[in-house]
Structure formats: C-alpha cells, structure tokens
C-alpha cells in the first residue's frame, strides 16, 4: 500500500528502487523509494541509462553528453526508462533550449522487452530531446513529464522530492508533458514521414530488427538497418493508423501529480 506524501510530513526512505549507480556513469540507480510512493534517481557526470521502478519516479539528469559531435549518427544519449508509474525527468536549462525529435527505429525497446506484451505500438510513448545549444541528447521511454530546471538543479534526490512542487508553482522550474513535446516533434513531419515514424514504433519493427541483428554490429550499421526495416515494413502496407498507443500512467504520489501540473494534458 503506497502512502501519499502530505506537505510538512518527513520523508523517509523505504527501500531501494531499481538497480545500478556507477561512478563511471554507465548506468544510474539505485533510486531511493520514499514513503510518498515516489522514487528518485540521481545521475552522475557522464552518460547514464536510468531504469525506473514499478511506481512513480523522478529522474535527475546530472549527465554530460555535450562533449560530442551532435551530428554524429551514434552520438551518446542519456536514456530514461520509466517502465511504469507516472515518471518525471528533470533536465538542465530552459524549455526553449530543447528540440523534440522522433526516435529512430533502433531507439525503441528491444523485441524481448516486457512492454511489448501489452502493446503493439509505442508511438507517442518514446521521445528524443536535443539541447540546441550544447548538443546534449536524451531519450525518454514511457516518461510522462519533463521538468526544466532553468539552470538551478536540485542538489540531491531528497531535495527534489521535497521541493519539486514548490519550484513548479513558483515558476522557478517549468513542466511539460512528453505527449505535448511529442506532438510538437510530429508536427515537423510530412504525412509520409509520420507514417514511417508510426511503423518504426511497432512491435513488428522491433521483432524484425532483432531478427536482422548480427553480433558486433556497429552503431552506424544498426541505425541503417533499422531505417531499412522501417521503410520495408512501410512499403508492405502495415496498418498502423488503426493502432492506439497505451495511455499514460496516472500519478500515484502527490509529488508526481503536481509535477504533471494542472495545465498539462494527460492525452493528445
């Protein structure tokens, strides 16, 4: 039974959420699960891959993928996997610093991922964000909200879980739903590009990519193969317009409810 956090109550960690924090910044966790039902994860100073819990999560990006060539096809990304629950990712800077883009076919979960047991499309559930000034890149899978810290990051996970609502209410930080950001990215596509993007988000595409993968395949070869798979499935007449993506998870805890924000739209 999840206990909802109430203002003024002390926060008490109730256990580890997720797995992994590495000082080498390869993968981040474990998070701390608090008695308000949310968990916090804190990134390191490099590229991270965050694996969320079954409940609500707040991911604090502290990574730095900006020392790279942003035009590179295999540019590093911080990756956030919400898994389930209403999840929030806190990114550095202003909302206008970021451009939302469609994920590539190879950016979607592998064909063996449990998410495919419940869905045949993840269109709208995965979004890529790129900082237009620094080239930093982020891939969000099944994360419902993004918070922009306006250059004043949280010092630690406990500060985030306590102060996130007031930061949003005061305007010190901004919040946007990932669906809103996704719709902005979609608007930049032609009808043909939208269809290809929908094909890339299907179970069939994930399965075909898995079947064509070869051990030792480099990033460039993987990306080219994924694009070719999506194109061929598109040409096969796969009916993607009739598919409905899964609905966003609704928040359990007070913190993520308020991070979602009264002005945010829970569905497109």
> Using one digit for the tens of pLDDT, what is the confidence trace for 122-165?
999 999 999 988 888 899 999 999 999 999 999 888 889 889 98
Structure token pair of residue 220: 């460039």
> Using one digit for the tens of pLDDT, what is the confidence trace for 44-71?
777 788 888 888 999 998 766 565 555 5
Where do the structural domains in the chain lie, given as residue ranges? 13-187+244-260
With bands split at pLDDT 50, 70 and 90, how would you rate the model's confidence at 265? very low
With bands split at pLDDT 50, 70 and 90, how would you rate the model's confidence at 2? very low
> Using one digit for the tens of pLDDT, what is the confidence trace for 11-36?
888 877 765 454 454 556 678 888 88
Q: How far apart are CA 235 and CA 55, in angstroms?
A: 39
> Using one digit for the tens of pLDDT, what is the confidence trace for 195-251?
999 999 999 999 999 988 787 777 788 888 899 999 999 888 888 888 888 888 888
With bands split at pLDDT 50, 70 and 90, how would you rate the model's confidence at 75? low
Name the β-bridge partners of 38.
Answer: 56
Hey, how many other C-beta atoms are within 10 angstroms of the C-beta on 109? 18
Task: Determine what percent of the chain falls in helix, strand and coil, rounding each to the nearest 5.
Answer: 30, 20, 50
Residue 98 phi, psi (nearest 5): -115, 145
Mean predicted confidence (pLDDT) in 6-10: 62
pLDDT at 116 over 80: yes
Residue carrying structure tokens 């956090």: 5
Mean predicted confidence (pLDDT) in 242-267: 73
pLDDT at 1 over 50: no
pLDDT at 121 over 90: yes
**pLDDT value, residue 203:** 93
């Amino acid at each position: 039974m999840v206990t909802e956090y109430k203002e003024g109550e002390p926060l008490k960690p109730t256990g580890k959420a997720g797995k992994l924090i590495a000082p080498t910044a390869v993968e981040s966790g474990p998070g701390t699960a608090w008695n308000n039902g949310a968990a916090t994860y804190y990134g390191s100073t490099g590229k991270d891959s965050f694996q969320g819990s079954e409940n609500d999560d707040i991911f604090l990006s502290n990574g730095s993928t900006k020392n790279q060539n942003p035009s590179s096809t295999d540019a590093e990304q911080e990756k956030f996997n919400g898994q389930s629950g209403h999840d929030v990712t806190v990114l550095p800077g202003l909302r206008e610093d970021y451009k939302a883009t469609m994920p590539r076919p190879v950016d979607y979960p592998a064909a063996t991922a449990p998410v495919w047991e419940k869905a045949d499309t993840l269109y709208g559930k995965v979004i890529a964000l790129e900082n237009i000034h620094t080239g930093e890149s982020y891939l969000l899978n099944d994360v419902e909200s993004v918070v922009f810290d306006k250059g004043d990051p949280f010092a630690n996970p406990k500060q985030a879980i306590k102060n996130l609502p007031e930061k949003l209410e005061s305007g010190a930080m901004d919040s946007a739903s990932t669906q809103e950001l996704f719709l902005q990215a979609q608007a930049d596509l032609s009808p043909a590009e939208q269809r290809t993007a929908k094909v890339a988000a299907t179970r069939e595409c994930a399965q075909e990519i898995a079947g064509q993968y070869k051990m030792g395949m480099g990033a460039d070869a993987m990306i080219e193969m994924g694009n070719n798979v999506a194109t061929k499935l598109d040409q096969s007449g796969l009916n993607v317009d009739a598919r409905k993506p899964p609905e966003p998870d609704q928040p359990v805890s007070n913190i993520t409810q308020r991070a979602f924000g009264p002005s945010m739209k829970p569905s497109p």
